[in-house]
């Protein structure tokens, strides 16, 4: 069974640009969540999608957005990149029935974004 797949694995952008990251969850998982990991702030929750609807949102500015498609694949977008957005962005999926809610999360290897 394939795990959570994130693309691209590495990318470099400059300030002011935007970036889109993709996440393919494990087959059958309908909940997808995103986390940002930085040395200074650690692991922080960005948002969660379940059945194409945003179910939870962390404390990030509106420059961070996401969406989920009908096949449960998810994308997150960061617009007007800042130096502080340099981070490892991790996607996780969780199995039904509820997705999340105390359940095990399966993480991808992440997309490492560097903003110059």
Partner 1 sequence: AQKVTQAQTEISVVEKEDVTLDCVYETRDTTYYLFWYKQPPSGELVFLIRRNSFDEQNEISGRYSWNFQKSTSSFNFTITASQVVDSAVYFCALSRETSGSRLTFGEGTQLTVNP
- 15 or 57, CB closer to partner 1? 57
Of residues 27, 28, 109, 114, which one binds partner 1 by CB under 8 A?
A: 109
* Closer to partner 1 by Cβ: residue 15 or 104: 104
Residue 14 or residue 56: which is nearer to partner 1 going by CB? 56
Cβ neighbourhood burial of 101 (10 Å; 0-12, 13-18, 19+): exposed
Query: Using CA atoms, how far apart are residues 85 and 79, in angstroms rounded to an integer?
Result: 10
By three-state DSSP, how is residue 37 classified? strand
User: Quick one: which segment of 19-27, 45-53, 65-73, 77-85 binds partner 1 (CB under 8 A)?
Assistant: 45-53
Q: How far apart are CA 61 and CA 98, in angstroms?
A: 27
Question: How far is 24 from 66, CA to CA, in rounded Å?
Answer: 13
Q: Rule CB under 8 A: is residue 56 a binding residue for partner 1?
A: yes
Tell which one of 22, 60, 75, 107 touches partner 1 (CB under 8 A).
Answer: 107
Number of residues that bind partner 1 (CB under 8 A): 32
């Amino acid at each position: 069974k394939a795990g959570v797949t994130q693309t691209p694995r590495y990318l470099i952008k400059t300030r002011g640009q935007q970036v889109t990251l993709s996440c393919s969850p494990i087959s059958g998982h309908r909940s997808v969540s995103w986390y940002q990991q930085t040395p200074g702030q650690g692991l922080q929750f960005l948002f969660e999608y379940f059945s194409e609807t945003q179910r939870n949102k962390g404390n990030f500015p509106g420059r961070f957005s996401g969406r989920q498609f009908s096949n449960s694949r998810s994308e997150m977008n960061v617009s007007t990149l800042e130096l502080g957005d340099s981070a490892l962005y991790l996607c996780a999926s969780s199995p039904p029935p509820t997705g999340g809610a105390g359940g095990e999360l399966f993480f991808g290897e992440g997309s490492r974004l560097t903003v110059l």
